[in-house]
Amino acid sequence: MRSYVVAAWERRRHRERELHEVTAETAEHAIVAIASARPLEQQPGIYEAWPAEAPELNLRITYEHPRRQLRLRPDGQ
């Protein structure tokens, strides 16, 4: 396990970043730990994570609400 810093922010308010420190196996797991704690309608839009001791190694994930709701159909239809 490693200590990661996760930044979360909205596109409109790019300068207002929420910083969180998380212990996780990977940067992806650190982002999921922060993102999964929020309801979908409160997702900020952009998440970035990096090891606390190596900020140059970062991962950026952009989240966007689906434009329309997808309908699932049972197999065979």
Q: Which tokens belong to 58?
A: 């970062």
By residue count, the chain amounts to 77
Query: What is the model's pTM?
Result: 0.73
At residue 46, the pLDDT reads 86
At residue 27, the pLDDT reads 92
Contact 10, 47 (CB under 8 A): no
Q: Spell out the per-residue pLDDT of the chain, length 77, in tens.
A: 999 999 988 767 666 788 999 999 999 999 999 988 888 777 778 889 999 999 888 888 887 666 666 677 776 55
